[in-house]
Amino acid sequence: MKALSKSAGPFAALALIGAGLLPLRAQVLKLNERQEIEVGKLAAAQVEVEQPVFTDAEVTAYVQKVGLRLARVSGRPGLRYYFKILQSDDVNAYALPGGYIYLTLGLVEAAGDEAELAAALAHEIGHIAARQHATKVRRSQLASLGVSFLGPVMGGGMRAAAAVKGGKSGTRGLFMRFSTSDEREADRMAAQNLYAAGYDPQAILRLLRRLTSVQEDGTAMVKRYFSSHATIEDRAENIEDLIATLPDKNALRNDTPEFTEIKARVKAVKPTLALTSSEAAAAMLEAAENAPDSQEARSREVAALYAPIFYQGIGDQPRYDYITNFDFDGDWRGDNNWKNAADKQYPLAAWVYYSVRETRTHYFLHYAAFHPRDYKGGTGMGKMFSKAIRTVTKPAASIDPTGRAMEAVLAHENDLEGCLVVVAKNGQDPRKGKVVFLETLAHNNFLKYLPTGEKREGFENFAQQGRRVKLFVEPKGHGIEAYDPEGKHARHRVRIFTFTGVAIEPASDQAEPVGYNLTPLATTLWAQALQGISPAFAETEDYGAMLLDFEDTDGVKEKTVTVGRIGAAFRGKVGGENLARAPWGWFDAKDKEQPMGQWFFDPARTIKRDFALGDGFGTAYLYPWPPEPAVEPTDGK
């Protein structure tokens, strides 16, 4: 699996300015999405250096949940959104480029109900969904953020923000007063967004009238809102006609008991607030409270029942096509796996990683197969040519319009690819389930399959042996597809890996199937990822927070799950650097709508979208991931 390739073009206009080919009066720049996100990231870091962030976990999680509910059905759902609260009595809300939204404690307190709070967030989401910052950022604002004129935007995080503290704040320009047309567009998008998320769109008008009333009473803290947003008269006239055209919908949300509890909590904790800068988001999923001891054992049982059969293609160096574990050599270093794979003192025993998610109706089973070497171009020439290619392409990577220059290699250290198997339940006995959907990963693309005999345009079929899906793992490069022995895979020599509960090292002349064992992602690669940059991981990804559905005896509830910044790309120095990624770092290069990590963290919603399953397909999980406590299996020897 290769590293994330973001669609990124260079700051071509900036480069031309630097070369003297464009007049300096060309002040306004148009950012592509990658640049927009990077500018927003740097500006957000500066905001949090200059102004303290409210860090109460309960209130923050609530605001994130409301914001993510709106973002999910906004005009730009594929973007990762971040919602934070500033410790200020001012009544205001701000949007930064690339998905960063801030609102003040004063606005939380001023909102009359949850729908009014949602209206403020939906308006800021509208600015971002319409990419209004991206077409209006000025050179002077970028310069004050420390952004270079001669290359792509590279976010510097808190360290870079601290370096410019004390100078002119670039964020003040990004908290711009939008034009009247911008405000009108954001409001219309907000009204539609509120309606799509199940909120009463009239809440926009109620919030504005409430704030206008407070302002007329002489409260200066509200004035800043109307200094950075259009007037109530303009905004009301703009959206009343749109709201009138929206079809009637039952049970539109206005107030909720949770909102009342949150306002009471703000009032209770506010006097004791410490004015400190925000800390990095917690780097792990929330674990289930009082999770049953048997949950991991149950997950392993289900994963074992449906563990796939891997038809591993064998190339001219069979040892490097053997499926094994990342720490086959007894350590968690990624940058010695290429070398150590050649040393036969390290047995390449067959292990496959797994994780299990469960809803009331389905199991979602992730499996991942690791190889120490991707040797498409050969173990010698591939490594040499990859190094040469990197040397040539590295200077051009910053102006590469595709963002993929550094992936043009013939070999790289470490490779992890896999699949998502979806099983429809049939009662409480997991043995009675049926595999109904399959997605596999092959070189930054998710391939989608239906069972044999089911015909649907755009989908191929997978075959099974009993409960087990048959998968083909290509030699050398290790992309995974549904196995087609009569077609495109017929020409390949294969070694069969099947689940036995014992991790076996293949013999060079072995003809019979190789037994593999399962090992949980939760206690292996995930545990390493939580360390961030480490001997195992060289690159991290900030997954922020996401809104997931959970179901218990009281029904379905939404819950904000915070992942934060964790390890995503394995450390690898041979061939292409750091090109292999963990399952939460897998992505589809052809799909720009799906946020990074959703395929792994929210498989139910992913499958529902990918197979167009409609509202009858449930997406509420029965427990968080990873379940606790986790049980490490033995290899049975």
Q: What would the pLDDT profile of 72-95 be if each residue is shown by its tens digit? A: 999 898 899 999 999 888 888 889
Q: Write the burial class of residue 84 (CB in 10 Å: 0-12 exposed, 13-18 middle, 19+ buried).
A: buried
**Whether residue 350 sits in one domain with residue 474:** yes
Task: Answer whether residue 116 shows pLDDT above 70.
Answer: yes
pLDDT in tens, 504-519: 999 877 778 999 999 9
Phi-psi region of 508 (alpha: psi -120 to 50; beta: other; left: phi over 0): alpha
Indicate whether 155 belongs to any domain.
yes
**Per-residue CA distances from 69 to 73, 83, 193, 367 (Å):** 7, 12, 10, 29
DSSP H or E segment with residue 29 = strand 28-29
- Same domain (yes/no): 537, 460: yes
Q: Is residue 398 a part of any domain in this protein?
A: no
In a domain, 630, yes or no: no
Cα angle 40-61-528, degrees, rounded to a multiple of 5? 75
Are 263 and 362 contained in the same domain?
no
Q: Considering its fold, how many domains does the chain have in total?
A: 2
- Do 258 and 299 reside in the same domain of the chain? no
What is this structure's pTM?
Answer: 0.73
Residue 565 reports pLDDT greater than 80: yes
Task: Evaluate whether residue 392 is within a structural domain.
Answer: no
Residue pLDDT, tens place only, 141-168: 555 555 443 333 333 333 333 334 433 4
Cα–Cα nearest to 575, from 375, 369, 326, 370: 375
SS3 561: strand
Place of tokens 């976990």: 57
Facing residues of 356 across strands?
365
- CA-wise closest residue to 50 among 174, 164, 173: 164
536 shares a domain with 600: yes
Is 370 among the domain residues? yes
Which of 284-293, 326-335, 559-568 comes out lowest in average pLDDT?
Answer: 284-293
State how far the alpha carbon of 55 is from the alpha carbons of 252, 270, 273, 328, 340, in Å.
30, 11, 9, 41, 45
Report the pLDDT value the prediction gives residue 391, as an integer from 0 to 100.
52
Same-domain status, 456 and 420:
yes
463 shares its domain with 369: yes
pLDDT digits (tens, 9 = 90+) for 334-371: 999 999 999 999 999 999 999 999 999 999 999 999 99
Q: Do 225 and 309 have their domain in common? A: no
Overall average pLDDT of the 167-180 stretch: 54
Would you say the C-alpha torsion 583, 584, 585, 589 has a positive or negative sign? positive
447 & 554 share domain: yes
Mean pLDDT (the chain) is 80
Contact between 376 and 367 under an 8 Å Cβ cutoff? The reply is: no
* 302 shares a domain with 263: no
pLDDT at residue 319, rounded to an integer = 94
23 within some domain: no
Residues 58 and 125 both lie in one domain = yes
Question: How far apart (Å, rounded) are the C-alpha atoms in residues 279 and 171?
Answer: 20
Is residue 102 assigned to a domain? yes
Q: What is the 3 state secondary structure string of 40-54? A: HHHHHHHHHHHCCEC
**pLDDT of 175 strictly over 80:** no
Structural domain containing residue 611: 295-376+411-621
Residue 13, domain member (yes or no): no
